């Protein structure tokens, strides 16, 4: 279902905190049964593999080699909707275990499994349930681990923000629920940390993110959630924009997002005639600024409306002027060895069959860390750029300024330096 009666869960905590009004908007949507995507099914299958594997280690997590060997014994078994293959082990399970091993080393080692796929209840919020993927502990730390097997946008355990870093709300929700639901002795005289393991994201440096959290942070989070729930049930609850909007089912009907459609009049009935920059009295520049803001708003709105139309039609709805069609997919090579052997028989040279390329920075950096060496700076260069792009005012490091402005800024900086 795209609509849930439950006010809050792990995956919706961040959205409710930053946009209490989203709950009532989502409740106003028609019920729709969503067919699980291949990405979701894959993730569920890999979660099931890790669940079975971690269930074996209640008395202590063994060396990573032992865990990998055990996982390989699962090949051929069915998990969720598919048979586990060696490719699944290589692509998802091994890198997940490598990240787990790195995490445990970072926090002192000697970990055992405290809870695995545990259903927990968030304190003071009826129906506020969630499931913790993995809770591990040693003599100092209790660490909550969340597996994410998607290949899309990385989700960090800690969001970096100039206004103040903030811990991933989903992890805080699960940890608060774990403390509320599991035996208190697991958390007595321990320090806390949370982690996200994403073994399939392209950048290896983003496959493991983690951060310590304090009891105070958890308490403040509980208070914030309670306030957000109260706000969500008010008449005309407040709305808020941010990253949480990306996955909100109510995006197409949100007043903040649809506003662009009703603000086109800001541009005027007749756009001003383009003029050379040195002859503009400011009118054309102001027009471009308004147009850019509205175009950016409409761009994000279009994507969400397209997704809403697709979901609606997949559930049997009719949208005038639109039909469903199968996506066109690009051709790809069949079995690599078969292709290589066949092309060789046809007379292809080696370099016409295979290509070599240097590894990514992320892979090289990980190898350097393992070897305890430093990659020389001169091996990585940033080409000088003569091209320009537009950025919001105040965000550009290498912004371009006119000579008069540059001289004024330099003089002001020099004056400050002399005064210090």
Residue showing tokens 């961040």: 14
Per-residue pLDDT of 58-89, as tens digits, reads: 888 999 999 999 999 999 999 998 899 999 99
Per-residue pLDDT of 200-258, as tens digits, reads: 988 888 999 999 999 999 999 999 999 988 888 888 888 888 777 777 877 777 777 76
396 Cβ neighbours under 8 A, 6+ residues apart:
none
What is the H or E stretch that residue 239 is in? none
d(CA 184, CA 177): 12
Distance from the Cα of residue 265 to its chain's centroid: 35
Per-residue pLDDT of 13-39, as tens digits, reads: 888 888 888 888 888 776 655 556 778
Question: Quick check: 293 pLDDT over 70?
Answer: yes
134 forms beta bridges with 116, 145
Long-range contacts of 254-259 (CB under 8 A, 24+ apart): 254/22, 254/25, 257/297, 257/300, 257/301, 257/304, 258/301, 259/297
DSSP 120: E
d(CA 370, CA 360): 16
Per-residue pLDDT of 297-320, as tens digits, reads: 667 677 777 877 777 777 777 888
Distance from the Cα of residue 206 to its chain's centroid: 10
Rg (CA), the chain: 27
CB count within 10 Å of CB 287 equals 18
Per-residue pLDDT of 95-116, as tens digits, reads: 999 999 999 999 999 999 999 9
């Amino acid at each position: 279902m795209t609509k849930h009666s439950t006010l809050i869960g792990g995956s919706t905590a961040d959205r409710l905190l930053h946009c209490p009004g989203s709950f009532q908007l989502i409740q106003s949507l028609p019920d729709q049964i969503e067919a699980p995507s291949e990405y979701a099914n894959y993730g569920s299958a890999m979660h099931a593999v890790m669940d079975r594997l971690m269930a074996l280690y209640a008395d202590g997590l063994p060396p990573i080699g032992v865990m990998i060997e055990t996982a390989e014994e699962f090949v051929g078994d069915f998990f969720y909707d598919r048979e586990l293959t060696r490719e699944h082990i290589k692509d998802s399970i091994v890198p997940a275990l490598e990240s787990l091993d790195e995490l445990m080393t970072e926090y002192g080692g000697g970990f055992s499994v405290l809870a695995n796929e545990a259903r927990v209840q968030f304190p003071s919020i009826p129906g506020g349930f969630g499931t913790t993927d993995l809770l591990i502990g040693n003599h100092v730390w209790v660490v909550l681990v969340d597996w994410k097997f998607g290949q899309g946008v990385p989700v960090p355990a800690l969001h970096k923000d100039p206004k103040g870093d903030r811990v991933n709300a989903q992890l805080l929700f699960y940890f608060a629920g774990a403390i509320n639901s599991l035996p208190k002795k697991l958390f007595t005289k321990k320090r806390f940390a949370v982690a996200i393991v994403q073994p399939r994201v392209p950048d290896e440096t983003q496959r493991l993110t983690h951060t310590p959290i304090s009891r105070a942070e958890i308490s403040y989070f509980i208070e914030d959630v309670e306030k957000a729930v109260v706000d969500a049930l008010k008449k005309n609850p407040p709305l808020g924009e941010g990253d949480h909007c990306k996955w909100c089912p109510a995006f197409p009907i949100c007043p903040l997002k649809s506003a662009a459609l009703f603000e086109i009049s800001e541009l005027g009935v007749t756009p001003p005639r383009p003029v050379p920059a040195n002859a503009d009295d400011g009118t054309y520049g102001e027009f471009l600024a308004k147009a850019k803001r509205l175009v950016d708003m409409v761009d994000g709105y279009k994507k969400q409306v397209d997704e809403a139309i697709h979901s609606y039609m997949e559930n049997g709805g009719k949208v005038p002027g639109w039909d469903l069609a199968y996506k066109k997919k690009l051709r790809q090579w069949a079995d690599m060895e078969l292709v290589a052997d066949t092309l060789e028989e046809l007379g292809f040279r080696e370099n016409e069959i295979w290509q070599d390329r240097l590894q990514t920075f992320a892979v090289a950096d990980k190898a350097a860390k393992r070897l305890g060496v430093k990659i020389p700076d001169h091996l990585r260069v940033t080409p000088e750029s003569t091209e320009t792009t537009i950025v919001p005012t105040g965000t550009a490091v290498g912004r371009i300024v006119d000579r008069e402005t540059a001289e004024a800024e330099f003089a002001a900086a020099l004056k400050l330096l002399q005064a210090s």
